[in-house]
Structures are given as structure tokens and as C-alpha cells.
Amino acid sequence: MPTLRTSRRLRALIVALAFGLLWAPCGAGAQPGKVYRIGFLSGTVRPSDADLERSPLRKALADLGYVVGQNTVFEYRYAGGKIERLPELAAELVRAKVDVIVTAGGPSAEAAKQATAGIPVVITFAGDPVRLGLVTSLARPGGNVTGVSDLAVELSAKRLELLKEAAPRASRVAVLWNSADRAMTFRYQDIEAASRTLRVTVQPLGVREPNDFEAAFAAMNRERPDALFLVTDTLTTLNRKRVIDYAAAHRIPAMYESIPSVTEGGLMSYGPSFADLFPRAAYFVDKILKGTKPGELPVEQPTRYYLVLNLRTAKALGLTFPPSLLLRADQVIE
């Protein structure tokens, strides 16, 4: 017959198992009974609800136990291409008392950092966070900001090198970027520095608003470049189809930084994937919500960059990609 002590231990074990089963659906990352409020700040246009539900960030967080409708609420703020609205939208997220803010792009990261020193901020696609003053260093961010960023200097040089490989006769490259975006201005400076090593002349075409693209096109009409390099940010993303169409109409080889530009008709791109970076952002969110201070989480860099080539566009431009480039491509659109 079991002793009184044994019976008590058995009852305690049963209770523990019952509570374990009860709370198991909350997921490994989430605390039982807590509702997490996650802010998201971007300068671009708000996607559809269906696209938001399918987003890599939402999926990755759900895999970690943060499920919308169960224990997680998202507070989305999109500036719709009006970057000047970002400080106001960041302030709204602070007033909403979110637990963490995920940002997309340099201006969004800067707005979030200026809006709060207490709420953790996880950055993505922010350019060089050290040069922007978002973190003290990549290894030891300090403060309330961490996340995923890219090596702008090395990456810009690599993109220019790949463009030269595709169009070896190009000696004059037009660089189109948002000069109102500090992160992308740093990116332009990196391209300019790389151009000297590759013995290429850069034609600077800074834009600040949608109407400026026509002036940039007019400048290229006056002084035709041999190739074009589009730096990706909110403004250029929202107007990238205009650039793709201009490059096609004037038969100008162009390098883009994101895969969608090539699937929409651009010649080539080299860069990280949204599908890779946002799951890493989810990792940071999870660590922070579990209690790790953002300043103690080193800023990560993408582990993989994708070279995407569009053969249809190359043919229309009268270009033939060299075999060495085709062999290195991660995706070839035929």
C-alpha cells in the first residue's frame, strides 16, 4: 500500500502533467497566459491582409509559438511612401505600448529609435546600423536596437562587379537612389568608392520624391549611361516598374538589389531574400520577449545572397550572360 508521502508525490506529478498539457498549445517560445503586442513599422504601402497573414515574419513567429488570434497582436504602421510620416507612426506604436517594434528600412529604424529608448527595436534592411548611429557596434549593439543588416560596402562592390561582368563594355554607370534616405546615401557612397577600383565612372541620380524620376530619366537621355544601378529603398521600390520600363525602352543593362525587380522584367539582382531575413527577425523578437536585452544580441548579417538573372531581358537588350555568371546564378528566368 502506498505511503502518504508517495501519494502526495503522485498527486503533484498528476497536477504538473495536467498543467503541462493545458499550456502546451501556447508554443515553446510564448509564455502561457500572456498576450504579446508586436509593432511593425515600414515606409512602404500596406500589403493586403492576406499577404500579411502569409508574410515570412508572421509564419516564423507562429512557428515559435506567437500566434495571432491566440496570444499575439500585431500593430502595423505603414507610411505609404511618405517617409515624413514615420516619426508620427513610430510614436503611435509607443503609445500602443507594444512589447517590441520590428522595422523595415533605414528611415523606419531611425524613427523607431528616436521615438523610444525603452521599447526594443528589431531592424531589417536598414543599411549600415553603425554608420546610421542605430547601434554602437555590430557585436555589442548597446541600447534598445538590434536585428539583421547587410555589409553595404562589400555588397555594393560585388553588385557593381557583377554588373560589369554582364556588361563588360560599360564604363559609365548611372546610380539611382533616394538621396533623402541616409542609409541609401551611404550605399551610394559605397558604390562610388567601388567604381574607382573597377575603373567605372558613376553618374549620380539622386531622387527624393516620385516626380524626381522623370528628371533622372531626362538626365540619362542627355548623357546616356552604359549601365544602371538601382539602390533599393521604399521610394525606389514603389517606383521600380518605371525604372525597369525605362531601362528596357532604352536598352540599358541594369543591376537591382531585390529579386522581385528581376521577376518583373529587370536584368539582374544580387542580394538577400525577404524570406530569409524576416525569420531571423523573428528569432530576435523571440529572444527579446523571453527576456534577453536587445543590446546584448549581436546584429546579424545575411548568410546568403542570391544572384538572379533574366534571360528574356538579356535577349531583348542584345546581351549574352557569360557562362561563368550563369553557373553562379541561383535563379535564371527564361
pLDDT for position 23: 34
Residue-wise pLDDT tens digits, 144-154: 999 998 766 67
**Average pLDDT, whole number, for the chain?**
90
Euclidean distance between CA atoms 229 and 157, whole angstroms: 12
Residue 311: pLDDT over 80: yes
Each residue of 139-196: pLDDT tens digit? 999 999 999 987 666 788 899 999 999 999 999 999 999 999 998 899 999 999 999 9
pLDDT value, residue 229: 97
Residue recorded with cell 529572444: 287
pLDDT of residue 124: 94
The mean pLDDT value for 197-225 works out to 96
pLDDT at 242 over 70: yes
CA atoms within 13 A on the CB side of 70: 14
CB-based contacts of 225, cutoff 8 Å, min separation 6: 170, 172, 173, 174, 203, 252
Identify the band that residue 53 occupies on the pLDDT scale cut at 50, 70 and 90.
very high
pTM (two decimals): 0.85
Burial of 294 (0-12, 13-18, 19+ CB in 10 A): buried
Angle formed by the axes of helices 106-115 and 182-197, to 10°? Answer: 140
Closest C-alpha to 104, from 167, 44, 178, 22: 44
Give bridge partners of residue 174 from the DSSP assignment: 203, 228
Rounded distance, CA 146 to CA 292, Å? 11
